[in-house]
Structures are given as C-alpha cells and as structure tokens.
Structure 1
Amino acid sequence: MSEIANSGAVVIDRADGRDDGEDWTENYTELPGGVGISLILESTSQEGVGPRLHLHHYPETFVIRRGSAVFTVGDSQLVGKAGQIIVVPAETPHKFRTGPDGYEALHIHESSSFETVWLE
C-alpha cells in the first residue's frame, strides 16, 4: 500500500506482485480512509469453485465482470453473468460455483471487516 504524495489517495498493489487481473483472489479489509466497506477481488479460469454456504449480518454486492456463476441465495438458484450486479440482503444464506468460462467479480461487503457465519 502506498500513498500518492500530497493527494491523500492510497494505492493498494496486488500482493503477489503480478500486474494483470488473471487468477487473482484477494481480500481487502480495514481499507484506509474509513470507507466502511471491505472487498473481495476474484478472478479465476476454473469451473466449479466458490465459497460454501454462509451469511453476513450486512448486504453483499457482486459486480460480475467476466464469466458466470451459479448462485444459491436463500432457497433460490440463479445464474449471474458478466455485466450483472447481484445484491444479497443481510442475513441471507448464499454461495456460488463458477461457470465453465471462469468468473471475475468484485464482491463488496457493507462492513469495514468481514463478518461471516459459515453454515456448511
């Protein structure tokens, strides 16, 4: 993490040193500047991966940039694909599995740190 001189802006570099967006999964909590959110960046070419069933005490927003994933949200299943935004309400069990063309998304947690209740 570095600060841009005299601007107050903070630049957070990729932890593994790569300068592309491929096969990248990284969690960002306690972001500088008191933004009040935490982030997961996820990019994979693998099919069938994703977190097990869980919930948060706050909403989670998925901004899908590439590929697709099958989401389980509560009692429903839906296919989220590139160009869509999915908002999962607080206290709602959810999980996903990436599709055949992989998946790239930004997951926005409406909390400055992750608070996850694992259900499986």
Structure 2
Amino acid sequence: MEALIMANPKRVDPDGGTLYRRANDMLVKVATADTGGAYEVCEERCPPGFASRPHMHPQNHETFFVIKGGAKFLLGDDEFDGKEGDLFHIPPGTPHQVIAGDEGIHMLMVYSPGTTEAMFADMTALSEEERADWDTGAAVAAQHNTIWVKDFRTNA
C-alpha cells in the first residue's frame, strides 16, 4: 500500500478554517492540501428551513455528523430525521438532500476524496441571482463532481 504524502499536523481553533458564506456557512477545517487529496473536513451551519439542492456525487463519499439541531435527510429512497449525535454516510451515486429543522443544524462533514472546497469557492463567488439560477449553479457544481438532481423527490 502506498503511503499518502500529507502536510504537517495542524491544530484548528474553534472558529478557524476557511469560511464560505452563502445561504449556509461552510467552514473548511481540514483542506484537501492537508491530506494529499484524500479527504476534507468541514463544519457546516444551516439556518432553520435551509434546504440543500438535491444532488449526488458520482465519485465522492460524504459523511455528516450532527453536532446540534436537526434536519430531514433524504438519502436515495430513504428519509431520516437527523438529530444530535446521528451520523449519515452517503456513498457515491446516492441522490441526497438535507432540509434543516426549526433550530437549524450544525454538522461536521467529511468528503472523500477531498475535492469539494473548490466548489464552495466557486459557488460563493457567484452573485445571489446566479446561485438562485438552477442552470448556472448546476454547471458550476458539475465542474466539481457534483450533479444537481432535478427530478429528486422533495418532501420538505
């Protein structure tokens, strides 16, 4: 087995990392450069009622750990009420959507391989109008191994 070449160990303060602010806040704590591309670790805070675009990642694993609050997790054909302490793992190719509950949701997320921060940067650079436009957002997402799923069920 080949050894991964990684950067030096690091400590990240509670408010440390790279912040991408949109309708939700995504704070990248461990970047792809820190792991030789193996994974990224992010802290996400979503306000009450926030709903991610239904999407899937053809090649990436995504794992959510709920720190505080709750949300409805639509994962393929399954639906779960996520609460503090729950963990959800989404393998590649699984359509999914997260809909924050009345308190919002605070999560720790792991993406593997680590290719998602570039999408956060590109999405954050869009104007509010561009982010609201399905075709524009979908085109940016597709550049980063993320496919928005138009016909995915929404039970919000």
Compute the TM-score of the two structures, normalised by the length of structure 1: 0.75
Write the letter of the residue equivalent to 2:110. Answer: I
Which structure shows the higher helix fraction?
2
Specify every segment of 5 or more residues in structure 1 that has no aligned partner in the other structure, as ranges: 1-7, 17-22
1:3 is aligned to none
| In structure 2, C-alpha distance between the alignment counterparts of 1:112 and 1:9, rounded to whole Å | 17
> Aligned equivalents of 1:98 and 1:39: distance in 2?
20
CA distance in 2, matches of 1:40, 1:48: 20
Task: Note closer, same or farther for the CA distance 1:93–1:14 as it changes in structure 2 (3 Å cut).
Answer: same
**Paired position in structure 1 for 2:64:** 62
- Any conservation in 2 of the 1:62–1:105 contact (CA below 8 Å)? yes
**Counterpart residue number, 1:20:** none
CA contact (8 A) 2:37 2:113 kept: no
Q: 2:120 maps to which residue?
A: none
Structure 1 Cα separation of the partners of residues 42 and 54 of structure 2: 16
Q: How does 1:1-120 map to 2 (within 5 A)?
A: 8-12=8-12, 13-15=16-18, 24-27=25-28, 29-34=31-36, 36-44=38-46, 46-56=47-57, 57-114=59-116, 115-120=145-150
Give RMSD over aligned pairs: 2.2
**Runs of 4+ with deviation above 3 angstroms:** none
What is the aligned-residue identity percentage? Answer: 25
Higher percent of residues as strand: 1
1:24 to partner: Cα distance: 4.2
Paired amino acid for 2:65: V
Shift of 1:37: 0.4
Q: How many residues align?
A: 106
Question: Is the 8 Å Cα contact of residues 66 and 106 (structure 2) preserved in structure 1?
Answer: yes
Query: What's the TM-score, normalizing by structure 2?
Result: 0.59
